[in-house]
Amino acid sequence: MDLARLVLAAEPRPFWLDRPDAPPVRAPVRGEVACDLAVIGGGFSGLWTALLAKEADPQRSVVLVDGRQVGWAASGRNGGFCEASLTHGTANGRERFPAEFGTLQRLGVENLDAIEAALPRHGIDCDFERTGSIAVATSEYQVDGLREFAADDGVTFLDAAAVRAEVNSPAYLAGAWDKTSTALLHPGRLAWGLAAACERLGVRIFEGTPATALAGDGSGVAVRVRDGVLRAGQVALGTSVFPALVRRLRPYTVPVYDYVLVTEPLSAAQRAAVGWQNRQGIWDTGNQFHYCRLTPDNRILWGGFDAIYHFGRGLSAAYDQRPETFTTLAEHFFATFPQLEGIGFSHRWGGAIDTCSRFCAFFGTAHRGRVAYALGYTGLGVGASRFGARVMLDLLSGQPTELTQLAMVRSKPVPFPPEPLAYLGVQATRWSLARADRRGGRRNLWLRALDAAGMGFDS
């Protein structure tokens, strides 16, 4: 099979945004606009912030601006795994926040439950399915880790026969099925649905409106935008991987590109050949891991593995396409599902992840408490961004709350060094993680040094 040709036949755009019901583009800000709260960024972070602010206080005037369009960036191009975890998984959370890990887990489940409850309340149909997820072992050394993971409440260990009875892949040696902590959803429909819900509550949304600077403005903040200015009492920044308007935050994140393929819809015979009756999200437990799921129309979405960083924190539309990564992904796809040989891919795309060194979001304020931010979700922000929105609103309230008192909210990750060290560090880490995957998970000196510095990554 010529995989390079097969993947190039796919549409080079996110499957989730390639729909006839995509909303029309909204007008930009021109001139001066006044509001109580200005939200910068129309991804999930900004949209939940605007929605929750209006729900809490319908009198508050809220404006949301996006440099391009609602949902075009990570929020419209992810895997659609909406996780309860706020900490990029249990291992990372337990290690970084041991004293409050139980609280963070409770808050995470409450957050996922609240997302599920908000959808019907606001009439948002985003194909939400609370299927749970299976972590699978694809190498023998990963099996014991899954047994440990399955000691957690609500997680069931699956041996090779049991995991293949769920999803039929010869690559799967064992699994750990968490039945409640993951929902799968349609990210594009969620972003568009949240925006429509915001507007029904009175939020004014402007697109094509990049914000370029923040400045104190009497008792509020002036947000300079391309063709005007927002005069806001307070500002919430949901700007993710894009250059932070608060400059001192820039060293805390780096953009890392992640890539996805989506197949053509599976025929009834192909569906029968893979099983997957319970439609769980699947991820494997290598350092360079894949994730996969069924879409609402029964395609397979297959992403992950490569994580590409460009020198100087490079961000570019050109990086959304990477033929060699798509070919690698296709090769791994057919090794996982050999019974699907002959199926084609309909879509291929990539997107930038706002990676920070602790792998879960960090929060804070600037401009004397009038500007709040939540950044650094590191590839697991579909669910956690609603929590980040609540944190931003609590920080802006100026009152201590359960969320503002959390060590996770009060602390920051270790910043990345300037170039060329950032580039060299990321390349050394990628090389070492790939090597660890080939050597039974054994971490070399570099990875152990990062672990000791609180920057270690283990999926």
Ligand X SMILES: Cc1cc2nc3c(=O)[nH]c(=O)nc-3n(C[C@H](O)[C@H](O)[C@H](O)COP(=O)(O)OP(=O)(O)OC[C@H]3O[C@@H](n4cnc5c(N)ncnc54)[C@H](O)[C@@H]3O)c2cc1C
Residue ranges that bind ligand X, judged by CB under 6 A: 40-46, 65-68, 72-75, 77-81, 83, 210-211, 238-242, 245, 258, 260, 303, 351-353, 377, 379-383, 385
C-alpha span between 384 and 355 (Å, rounded): 14
Asked if 390 and 52 count as a contact pair (C-beta separation under 8 A), the reply is yes
- Between 195 and 274, name the residue whose CB sits nearer to ligand X: 195
Percentage helix, strand, coil for the chain under 3-state DSSP, each rounded to 5? 35, 25, 40
In the complex, the smallest distance separating the C-beta of residue 41 from ligand X, rounded to whole angstroms, is 3
- Between 389 and 447, name the residue whose CB sits nearer to ligand X: 389
C-alpha of 145 from chain center: 24
In the complex, the smallest distance separating the C-beta of residue 342 from ligand X, rounded to whole angstroms, is 26
In the complex, the smallest distance separating the C-beta of residue 379 from ligand X, rounded to whole angstroms, is 5
312-319 long-range CB contacts below 8 Å, 24 or more apart? 312/419, 312/423, 313/250, 313/254, 313/255, 313/422, 314/255, 315/241, 315/242, 315/255, 315/352, 319/257, 319/350, 319/352
- Between 254 and 352, name the residue whose CB sits nearer to ligand X: 352
DSSP for 120-147, written as a single string: HHTT-----B---EEEEESSGGGHHHHH
Q: Tell me the chain's radius of gyration from C-alpha atoms.
A: 21
From residue 64, how far is each of 30, 51, 72, 222, 393 by CA, in Å?
14, 10, 15, 14, 14
In the complex, the smallest distance separating the C-beta of residue 79 from ligand X, rounded to whole angstroms, is 3
Residue 157 CB: number of other CB atoms within 10 A?
17
**Strand, coil or helix: what is 349?**
strand
- Between 330 and 447, name the residue whose CB sits nearer to ligand X: 330
Amino acid occupying residue 238: G
In the complex, the smallest distance separating the C-beta of residue 203 from ligand X, rounded to whole angstroms, is 15
- Between 176 and 360, name the residue whose CB sits nearer to ligand X: 360
- Between 143 and 229, name the residue whose CB sits nearer to ligand X: 229
In the complex, the smallest distance separating the C-beta of residue 14 from ligand X, rounded to whole angstroms, is 8
In the complex, the smallest distance separating the C-beta of residue 189 from ligand X, rounded to whole angstroms, is 14
Asked if 385 and 41 count as a contact pair (C-beta separation under 8 A), the reply is no
In the complex, the smallest distance separating the C-beta of residue 273 from ligand X, rounded to whole angstroms, is 25
- Between 177 and 289, name the residue whose CB sits nearer to ligand X: 289
For residue 155 the two structure tokens come to: 């997680």
- Between 173 and 392, name the residue whose CB sits nearer to ligand X: 392
Residue 89 CB: number of other CB atoms within 10 A?
17
C-alpha span between 188 and 375 (Å, rounded): 20
- Between 33 and 352, name the residue whose CB sits nearer to ligand X: 352
Phi, psi for residue 29 in degrees, rounded to 5: -70, 130
Neighbouring residues of 227: CB distance < 8 A, sequence distance ≥ 6: 28, 29, 30, 31, 209
In the complex, the smallest distance separating the C-beta of residue 223 from ligand X, rounded to whole angstroms, is 9
